[in-house]
Chain A
Amino acid sequence: MVIPLAWYLIVAAALFCIGLYGALARRNAIGILMGIELMLNAVNINLVAFWRYVRPQMLTGQLFAIFVMTVAAAEVAVGLALVIAIYRSRDTVNVEEIDLLRG
Chain B
Amino acid sequence: MLLPILFIFFSIAVLGFALLVVTTRNMFHAALFLVGALFGVAALYILLEAEFLAVVQILIYVGAIATLIVFAIMLSRNMMRRDIRAANDQWVEGAVAAVLLFALLVLVLSRASWPTVTAAAPPDAIPGIGKALVSDYVIPFEVASVLLLVGMVGAIIIARERE
Contacts and interface: CB of A to CB of B under 8 A. Distances in A.
B69 A87 contact: no
Contacts, number: 244
B148 A11 contact: no
Given A20-B101, A56-B120, A84-B72, A7 B7 contact: yes
Instruction: Tell me the interface secondary structure of chain A in the complex.
Output: helix
Contacts of B45: 45, 48
B94 A24 contact: yes
B163 interface: no
A83 B72 contact: yes
Interface size class of A (residues with CB under 8 A): 35 or more
A84 B88 contact: no
Contact of A80 (B44, B72, B91): B72
Interface string B142-163: 0010011011101110110100
Interface residues of B, number: 89
Interface in A51-81: 51-57, 59, 62-63, 65-67, 69-78, 80-81
* Best-buried of A14, A59, A80 by chain B (most CB within 10 Å): A59
* Best-buried of B37, B86, B88, B90 by chain A (most CB within 10 Å): B88
8 contacts: A5-B116, A13-B105, A24-B94, A34-B22, A48-B53, A67-B144, A74-B148, A75-B151
Nearest to B3: A3
Contact of A54 (B41, B86, B115): B115
Interface in B26-49: 27, 30-31, 34, 37-38, 41, 44-45, 47-49
Nearest to B100: A17
Given A18-B98, A27-B85, A56-B119, A11 B22 contact: no
Nearest to B99: A17
Contacts of A35: 21-22
A87 B161 CA distance: 12
A78 B79 contact: no
A81 B154 CA distance: 8
Given A14-B15, A66-B133, 7 more contacts: A21-B91, A21-B95, A30-B69, A30-B72, A63-B132, A81-B159, A84-B75
Interface in A19-37: 19-22, 24-28, 30-31, 33-35, 37
